[in-house]
Structure 1
Amino acid sequence: MTEHLPPDGAVARAYNGHAWGQIEYTAADSRDLLDLLLTAFVNANRDPKKGGSPLPWPKPSWRPGDPVPDEAQGEKDKARAKAAYEHILAQTKG
């Protein structure tokens, strides 16, 4: 009876626990690959005479089934971004 239901319908989402389809997984894989290629390009073309360490390899993006990102870390990032924004505003007003 349920075999002809759409793969992205409510029954499939309830069964899988998420609404990700092949397109979303492909987009995440493409983003991860682009991050890896960009990091490899930057590391290969950096000037070792100027010092500095190579960029670390990027972590894969989140996918269903992975642990949920820490909410506290998100709040810290928001606070740091707001402080940086206010610092820039203070420099432009003075």
Structure 2
Amino acid sequence: MLRVLVENLPPDGATARANNGHAWRQIDYGVADSRDLLHLLLTAFVNANRDPKKGGGALPWPQPSWRPGDPVPDEAKADQDKARAKAAYEHILAQTKGE
């Protein structure tokens, strides 16, 4: 009887999430796949329509987004990226205040 109850639990329920170790549902994977495809298409469009006379190389192909089971991004690198983004933002603000 217990086996029948467990087999009929929803695939995105609390028991399945605890068993999988993450809370991603099938729709979350679909959204991540759609985002990755959109980035690929945008990169392909920009690379196909760039002017080779103006110089500059083609854009690099985007990396797929993170999914459960992938290695966790390095937090030190994330902190470094945040600091660099904040410095760039402050640089832009300093330029606009001077005008």
Q: TM-score, normalised by structure 1?
A: 0.92
User: How far apart are 1:72 and its partner, in Å?
Assistant: 0.7
The within-5 A match list for 1:1-94 is: 1-94=5-98
User: How far apart are 1:4 and its partner, in Å?
Assistant: 2.6
Deviations, residues 51-74 of structure 1 (Å, cap 9, x unaligned): 110001111111111000110111
Task: State how far apart, in whole Å, the 2-side matches of 1:13 and 1:49 are.
Answer: 53
Q: Percent same amino acid at aligned positions?
A: 82
User: How far apart are 1:17 and its partner, in Å?
Assistant: 1.1
Q: TM-score, normalised by structure 2?
A: 0.87
Tell me how many residue pairs correspond in the alignment. Answer: 94
Task: State how far apart, in whole Å, the 1-side matches of 2:10 and 2:85 are.
Answer: 42
In structure 1, stretches of 5+ residues that fail to align are none
User: How far apart are 1:84 and its partner, in Å?
Assistant: 1.2
